[in-house]
């Protein structure tokens, strides 16, 4: 396949409600869409890096620069782009996995549209709908948190994940557990905000029968996660620490996690995500698909990934309405707690021209030479 151009589209899309984590508050998504143009087809992908380098080191402007200056020229200069070798072709750039994932996925989408095959089929998906949870940000008050959780349960979500940080942990978790009972699938996500001085609260959380504690410590500190995992009965899940199949196998072997959150952007794409899925399956570790408040473009691909067999826990793939008033694709709608896996070619959804026009801030076309 010959690649003719790569386009970058910068969008700003307001969120229906602000989203607060231990690393900050998002009121809008700053979305970088990547479009791959071949003679036969166009493919789309969403770069999930956020506007500031506060979740991982990547950020939107950095991703655009790396794509423009390094990744796109490498692929545009090739006579024949092989979708199974893009990871290898782009390996000369160190890191920048969200940027690489977006380029690889856009080209893969174009290739699959040419071939008439869905991404789910290409990846080896085995289900036609995926179980959905919802990630609830740090709230202004316990009352506000309880009413948000009640609303999400009303919508049908199958698992509630509470964002926590030191000072917002025991009290909100106890309040939600007390209000919604022992059967609620409830987990917490600390986004690396704990250390030895706040370890005590994590141990106290053990009494609330949580499904998992996600990424309490900094990404590099595998050992701290292993020590915590050996002290509590609650499962430890890694998010920020997981960047490749190799480092996943190592983290599991060290006892640092018994559940893995796979985010395709964070690990460099859907092919590496599939390898992580396979490693975890072989090591008896269940996985679920994390989210980055994606539009329908990123969500469609995530839902395809989550159709693989070892995605046995509810995913952070919520319906479009949980994030946006108007999505940029046909909206994803929750049915009894599940989203349908798209069956059309590629990611299986289309970018709506009017929504693109509504939200687009700037765009550029990158060609060979």
**Residue numbers annotated as active site:** 163, 263
User: Which one of the spans 85-93, 221-229, 287-295, 328-336 is the region binding ligand OSB (CB under 6 A)?
Assistant: 287-295
Q: Which is nearer to ligand OSB, 111 or 323 (CB)?
A: 323
Q: Is 316 in the site for Mg ion (CB under 5 A)?
A: no
191 binds ligand OSB (CB under 6 A): yes
Q: Which does 292 bind (CB under 5 to 8 A by kind): ligand OSB, Mg ion, none?
A: ligand OSB
Both tokens assigned to 116: 């008439």
Three-class secondary structure of residue 93 per DSSP: coil
42, 104, 239, 272: which one contacts Mg ion (CB under 5 A)?
239
Contact 14/325 with Cβ under 8 angstroms?
A: yes
CB atoms inside a 10 Å sphere around CB 101: 32
Buried b (16+ CB within 10 A) or exposed e, 253-272: eeebbbbbbbbbbbbbbbbb
Of 125, 264, 290, 314, which one interacts with ligand OSB (CB under 6 A)? 290
Angstrom distance (rounded) from CA 227 to CA 206 = 14
Residue count, binding to Mg ion (CB under 5 A): 3
CB 67 within 8 A of CB 102: yes
Stretch that binds ligand OSB, among 108-116, 118-126, 222-230, 285-293 (CB under 6 A): 285-293
Cβ-contact 173, 162 below 8 angstroms: yes
Q: Are 140 and 168 in contact (CB under 8 A)?
A: no
Nearest to 307 by CA among 132, 127, 158: 127
- Residue 291, contacted partner among ligand OSB, Mg ion, none, CB below 5-8 A by kind: ligand OSB
Selected from 189, 272, 294, 327, the binder of Mg ion by CB under 5 A is 189
* 292 is a contact residue toward ligand OSB (CB under 6 A): yes
Structure tokens at 97: 């996995």
**Residue 293 contact among ligand OSB, Mg ion, none, beta carbon within 5 to 8 Å by kind:** ligand OSB
Q: How far is the CB of 77 from ligand OSB (least distance, A)?
A: 34
Number of residues that bind ligand OSB (CB under 6 A): 11
Per CB under 6 A, 291 contacts ligand OSB: yes
Nearer to Mg ion, 111 or 288 (CB): 288
Nearest Cα to Cα of residue 315 among 199, 102, 184, 157: 157
What DSSP designation does 168 have?
B
* Residues between 213 and 252 that touch ligand OSB (CB under 6 A): 239
The token duo for 92 is 């000369």
């Amino acid at each position: 396949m010959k690649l003719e151009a790569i386009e970058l589209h910068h969008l700003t899309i307001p969120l229906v409600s602000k989203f607060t984590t231990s690393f900050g508050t998002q009121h809008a998504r700053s979305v970088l869409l990547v479009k791959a143009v071949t003679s036969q087809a166009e493919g789309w992908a969403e770069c999930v890096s956020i506007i500031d380098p506060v979740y991982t080191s990547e950020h939107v402007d950095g991703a655009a620069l790396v794509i423009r200056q390094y990744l796109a020229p490498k692929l545009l200069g090739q006579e024949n782009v092989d979708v199974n070798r893009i990871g290898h072709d782009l390996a000369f750039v160190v890191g920048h996995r969200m940027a690489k994932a977006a380029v690889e996925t856009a080209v893969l989408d174009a290739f699959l549209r040419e071939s008439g095959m869905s991404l789910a089929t290409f990846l080896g998906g085995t289900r036609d709908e995926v179980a959905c949870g919802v990630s609830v940000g740090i709230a202004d008050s316990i009352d506000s948190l309880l009413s948000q959780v009640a609303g999400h349960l009303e919508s049908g979500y199958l698992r509630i994940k509470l964002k926590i940080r030191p000072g917002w942990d025991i009290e909100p978790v106890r309040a939600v557990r007390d209000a919604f009972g022992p059967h609620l699938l409830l987990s917490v996500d600390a986004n690396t905000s704990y250390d030895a001085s706040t370890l005590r609260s994590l141990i106290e959380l053990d009494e609330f029968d949580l499904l998992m504690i996600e990424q309490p410590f900094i990404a590099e500190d595998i050992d701290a996660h292993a020590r915590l995992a050996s002290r509590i009965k609650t499962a430890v899940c890694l998010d920020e620490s997981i960047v490749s199949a190799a480092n996943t196998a190592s983290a599991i072997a060290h006892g640092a996690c018994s559940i893995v959150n796979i985010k395709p952007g964070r690990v460099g794409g859907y092919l590496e995500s599939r390898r992580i899925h396979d490693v975890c399956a072989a090591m008896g570790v269940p996985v679920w698909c994390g989210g980055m408040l994606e539009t329908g473009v990123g969500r469609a691909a995530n839902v395809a990934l989550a159709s693989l067999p070892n995605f046995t826990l509810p995913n952070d793939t919520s319906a479009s309405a949980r994030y946006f008033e108007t999505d940029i694709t046909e909206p994803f709608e929750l049915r009894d707690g599940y989203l349908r896996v798209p069956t059309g070619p590629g990611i299986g959804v289309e970018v709506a021209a009017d929504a693109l026009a509504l939200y687009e801030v700037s765009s550029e076309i990158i060609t060979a030479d």
